[in-house]
């Protein structure tokens, strides 16, 4: 598509500059007297139509591929809320929240800003290399937007509606983005971090996550059944509210 546009531009501007030079008043002080040509009119109507058709066919195929979310290897439900992301691996049955990890001291200028200031999270989204990953975006409250420029993915997260996108990343790496919809007072503190790891490492990571979730569930059940003493509850309350 780009090279077609370049060729068309060269031809159009070349013809324009040639006409300005070859048919200037200095070269032809007496203007020519002729009427329109049906053949010329037909030619310069048909050629642009053929060019547009030639550009439209590959562009349509590309757009169709961009929107084709079928045959994905992994499906991840991304649910936004003020002001964090929840990632649910639909087929694997695991999920977790991801929120800003930049210390408050840096935000208030009490400490020097880190390398990834406001673009770091406690739990990054992890996906494997060379797999088609399908993203489903939704929201629990207001409209958010999941934007990862390196993946060319920017999808609004709308309450009661699911948007779709997909990516396939060939190389491992860490990629960062942000919420790009004005979603409230902490809109600037809602970063996105995606860690891409090799396929074999991803399988091990999934197994570890399943074990961690099982242990957390067992611990939560034990905590609910336990009779807590006041001296055990006070430090937990202070950690939350102070």
CA dihedral 200, 95, 209, 177 (to 10 degrees): 60
Percent of the chain with pLDDT over 70: 93
**pLDDT score, position 113:** 92
Render the burial of 180-204: b for 16+ CB within 10 Å, e for the rest. bbebeeebebbbbbbebbeeeebee
Higher pLDDT, 198 or 225: 198
pTM greater than the 0.85 cutoff: no
Q: Which of 80, 85, 91, 8 is nearest to 44 (CA)?
A: 8
**pLDDT score, position 46:** 93
Each residue's pLDDT tens digit, 164-206: 999 999 999 999 999 999 999 999 999 999 999 999 899 999 9
pLDDT band, very low/low/confident/very high, at 219 (cuts 50, 70, 90): low
On the question of pLDDT at 100 being above 80, the answer is yes
pLDDT band, very low/low/confident/very high, at 222 (cuts 50, 70, 90): low
What is the spatial distance between Cα 155 and Cα 235, in angstroms, rounded to a whole number? 41
Instruction: Give the phi and the psi of residue 196 in degrees, each rounded to 5.
Output: -100, 125
Instruction: Give the phi and the psi of residue 105 in degrees, each rounded to 5.
Output: -60, -35
């Amino acid at each position: 598509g780009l090279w077609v546009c370049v060729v068309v531009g060269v031809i159009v501007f070349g013809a324009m500059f040639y006409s300005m030079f070859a048919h200037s008043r200095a070269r032809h002080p007496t203007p020519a007297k002729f009427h329109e040509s049906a053949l010329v009119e037909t030619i310069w109507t048909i050629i642009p139509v053929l060019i547009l058709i030639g550009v439209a066919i590959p562009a349509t195929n590309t757009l169709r591929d961009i929107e084709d979310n079928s045959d994905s290897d992994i499906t991840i439900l991304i649910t936004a809320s003020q002001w964090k992301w929840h990632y649910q691996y639909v087929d694997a049955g695991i999920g977790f929240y991801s929120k800003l990890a930049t210390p408050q001291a840096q935000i208030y200028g009490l400490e020097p800003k880190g390398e990834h200031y406001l673009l770091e999270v406690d739990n990054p989204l992890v996906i494997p290399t060379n797999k088609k990953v399908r993203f489903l975006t939704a929201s629990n409250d207001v409209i958010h937007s999941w934007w990862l420029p390196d993946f060319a993915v920017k999808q609004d997260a709308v309450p009661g509606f699911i948007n779709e996108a997909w990516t396939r990343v060939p190389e491992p790496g860490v990629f960062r983005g942000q919420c790009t919809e004005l979603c409230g007072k902490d809109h600037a503190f809602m970063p996105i971090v995606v860690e891409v790891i090799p396929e074999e490492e991803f399988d091990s990571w999934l197994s570890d996550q399943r074990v961690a979730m099982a242990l957390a569930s067992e611990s939560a059940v034990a905590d609910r059944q336990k009779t807590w003493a006041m001296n055990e509850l006070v430090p937990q309350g202070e950690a939350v509210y102070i």
